[in-house]
Structure 1
Amino acid sequence: MQTFKTFFKISKKHLPSCILYLGIYVVIMILLSFLAQDSNDSQFQASSLDIGIIDCDESKASHALTDYLDEIHTIVPLENDGEVIQDSLFYRKVSYVLTIPKGFEKELLDGNSKNLIQTSKRKDSASGYFLDEQVDQYLKTMRLYLCSGDSITDAAKHTADSAKDIEKVTSLSFEKDHSSSDNLYYYFQYMPYILILLLTISLAPILIIFRKKDIENRMDCAPVSPTSKGLALSMGCALYCLAVWGFFIIIGRIVYGADMFSKNGLLCILNSFVFLLFTLALTLLVSTFSPNTNVLNMIANVVGLGMSFLCGIFVPQSILSDNLLQVSRFLPAYWYVRITNMFGSYSAEPFSMNFYWKAIGIQLLFFVAIFAIYLVANKQHKSGQIFVPLNKIFSAESN
Structure 2
Amino acid sequence: MTTYKAILEILKKKKGSLLLGVIIMGVITFFYAGQLTQDAEELTGAKIAILSKDDSAIEKEFVDYLGKQHTIVKLKDTSQKRLDDALYFDEVEYILEIPKDFSEKLAKGEQVKLASKTRPATFSKSLVDTTVNSYLNTYLTYQKQMPQESQTTLLKKTKSTLSKDGEVHFDTTYHKKKKQNVTGQIYNLLAYGMFMSIFSGYAAVNLAFNREEIRRRNSCSPISRRKLSRKISIGNLIYSVFCLVLFLAFVVFITQGSLDQVTGYFALNTVAFFIAVISFSVMITSVMQNEDAITGINNIFIMGSCFVGGVFVPSQFLPDIVNKVAAFTPTYWFAQNNELIGKTMNFNQHFLNKFLFNSGVLLAFAAAFWVIHMITMREKGAWSLKKAHA
Q: TM class by shorter-chain length? A: 0.5 to 0.7
CA distance 1:205–1:33, shift in 2 (3 Å): same
Q: Which residue of 2 aligns with 1:239?
A: 238
Q: Please state if 1:227 is matched with 2:207.
A: no
TM-score, length of structure 1 as denominator length: 0.65
Superposition pairs of residues 44-59 of structure 1, within 5 angstroms:
45-47=45-47
In structure 2, the residue matched to 1:4 is 4
From the superposition, tell whether residues 183 and 74 of structure 1 become closer, same or farther in structure 2 (CA, over 3 Å).
closer
Shift of 1:177: 2.0
Amino acid at match of 1:45: G
* 1:195-245 deviation per Cα after TM superposition (whole angstroms, max 9, x unaligned): 333333343122111111110111111111223212211111111111212
Do the aligned partners of residues 41 and 10 (structure 1) sit closer, same or farther apart at CA in structure 2, a change above 3 Å counting?
Answer: farther
CA pair 31-217 structure 1, distance change in 2 beyond 3 A: same
Residue number in structure 1 paired with 2:18: 18
Q: C-alpha deviations, 1:234-259, integer Å up to 9, x for none?
A: 11111111121211111122212233
Q: Is the 8 A contact 1:188 1:268 kept in 2?
A: yes
CA separation in 1, counterparts of 2:187 and 2:255? 12
Instruction: Give ranges in structure 2 of 5+ residues lacking alignment.
Output: 50-56, 78-102, 109-118, 120-127
Secondary structure class of the residue paired with 1:203: helix
Counterpart residue type for residue 24 of structure 1: I
Amino acid at match of 1:13: K
CA distance in 1, matches of 2:333, 2:15: 32
Q: Residue 223 of structure 1: SS of its match in structure 2?
A: coil
Judged with a 3 Å threshold, the aligned counterparts in structure 2 of structure 1 residues 142 and 366 are, in CA distance, closer, same or farther, namely: closer
Q: Output the amino acid matched with 2:371.
A: A
Percent identical pairs in the alignment equals: 19
1:91-111 C-alpha deviation (Å, 9 max, x unpaired): 9xxxxxxxxxxxxxxxx9xx9
When residues 48 and 296 of structure 1 are mapped into structure 2, their CA distance, relative to the original with a 3 A threshold, is closer
Kept in 1: contact 2:181–2:339 (CA 8 A): no
Residue type at the aligned position of 2:264: L
> What is the TM-score when the length of structure 2 is the normalising length?
0.66
Cα root mean square deviation, aligned: 5.2
2:301 pairs with 1:280: no
- Confirm or deny: 8 A CA contact 1:26 1:248 kept in the other structure: no
Report the residue type matching 1:240 in the other structure. Y
**CA positional deviation for 1:3:** 1.2
Mapped contact 1:341–1:347 kept (Cα < 8 A)? no
Distance 1:257 1:140 in 2: 47
2-structure distance, mates of 1:372, 1:71? 62
Size of the alignment, in residue pairs? 338
Distance 1:6 1:317 in 2: 42
Instruction: Name which of structure 1's ranges 209-218 and 356-365 shifts more when overlaid on structure 2.
Output: 356-365
Query: Radius of gyration: which is bigger?
Result: 1
Q: What amino acid sits opposite 2:375 in the alignment?
A: V
Which amino acid is the alignment partner of residue 210 of structure 1? Answer: F
1: CA distance, partners of 2:358 / 2:70: 49
**Partner in structure 1 of residue 212 of structure 2:** 213
